[in-house]
């Protein structure tokens, strides 16, 4: 008997993933690190480029930042978890550190909560980004904690979305 093979239709990204599209594009940021367990304080500038990948199921971002001690690069990936209704997110840094957590989006406020593993130690981190209604700028505030109870600010920055190059 001939075997009938029925191809399942290709899955489509959850509508919630469209929220991540707001970050797609090129952004710059500037601000300051506070002195703390992750390093010395000082000014930071950087840029961020991101796009949806793998059929639109994940946001991939590339970050470059110049801080008080060094220049760092990072790769970020975020998807959607329909069970927990959040966006699992990872940041991988070129000094070996890693943020692993979840992103929740409430209107224009994006909050990352998770663990930051750096230099053999693990911290809790909370990073909130409050975007303007038109998603062309945002304010970032981040805090870190060694024990989950006492929180220390470690970065504040202003983000600006780069305007697309004019058509020629």
Reported in sequence order, the residue ranges of the chain that DSSP labels E, i.e. its strands, are 25-33, 42-53, 58-66, 71-78, 87-93, 98-106, 109-118, 121-131, 137-145, 152-161
Instruction: Provide the mask over 86-115, with x wherever binding to other proteins is found by CB under 8 A and - wherever it is not.
Output: --x-x-xxxxx-x-x---------------
Choice from 54, 109, 153, 162 touching other proteins (CB under 8 A): 54
Q: Report the phi/psi class of residue 96: left, alpha or beta, with left for phi > 0 and alpha for psi in -120 to 50.
A: left
Give the total of residues touching other proteins (CB under 8 A): 39
Query: Which of these ranges, 78-86, 131-139, 143-151, 159-167, lies near other proteins under the rule CB under 8 A?
Result: 78-86
Contacting range for other proteins; rule: CB under 8 A; set: 18-26, 50-58, 134-142, 144-152: 50-58
Asked whether 30 and 43 are in contact (CB, 8 A), the reply is yes
119 three-state secondary structure? coil
Binding flag, residue 81, other proteins (CB under 8 A): yes
First to last CA, the chain: 62
- Give the range of 11-19, 25-33, 125-133, 144-152 binding other proteins by CB under 8 A: 11-19
Q: With the C-alpha atoms ordered 8, 9, 15, 18, is the resulting torsion angle positive or negative? A: positive
Least gap, CB of 100 to other proteins (angstroms) = 7
58-77 residues near other proteins, rule: CB under 8 A: 58, 68-70, 73-75, 77
Can you list the alpha helix ranges (DSSP code H) found in 23-111?
none
- Interacting residues toward other proteins by CB under 8 A: 7-8, 10-11, 13-14, 40, 42, 53-55, 57-58, 68-70, 73-75, 77, 79-83, 88, 90, 92-96, 98, 100, 117, 119-122
């Amino acid at each position: 008997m001939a075997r009938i093979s029925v191809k399942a239709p290709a899955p489509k990204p959850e509508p919630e993933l469209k929220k991540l599209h707001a970050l797609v594009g090129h952004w710059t940021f500037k601000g300051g690190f506070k002195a703390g367990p992750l390093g010395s304080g000082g000014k930071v500038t950087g840029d961020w480029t991101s796009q949806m990948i793998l059929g639109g199921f994940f946001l991939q971002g590339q970050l470059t930042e110049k801080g008080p001690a060094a220049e760092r690069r990072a790769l970020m990936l975020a998807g959607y978890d329909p069970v927990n209704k959040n966006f699992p997110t990872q940041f991988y840094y070129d000094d070996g550190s890693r943020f692993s957590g979840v992103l929740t989006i409430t209107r224009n406020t994006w909050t990352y909560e998770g663990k930051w593993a750096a230099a053999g130690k693990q911290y809790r981190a909370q990073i909130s980004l409050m975007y303007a209604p038109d998603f062309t700028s945002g304010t970032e505030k981040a805090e870190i904690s060694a024990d989950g109870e006492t929180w220390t600010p470690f970065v504040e920055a202003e983000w600006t979305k780069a305007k697309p190059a004019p058509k020629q």
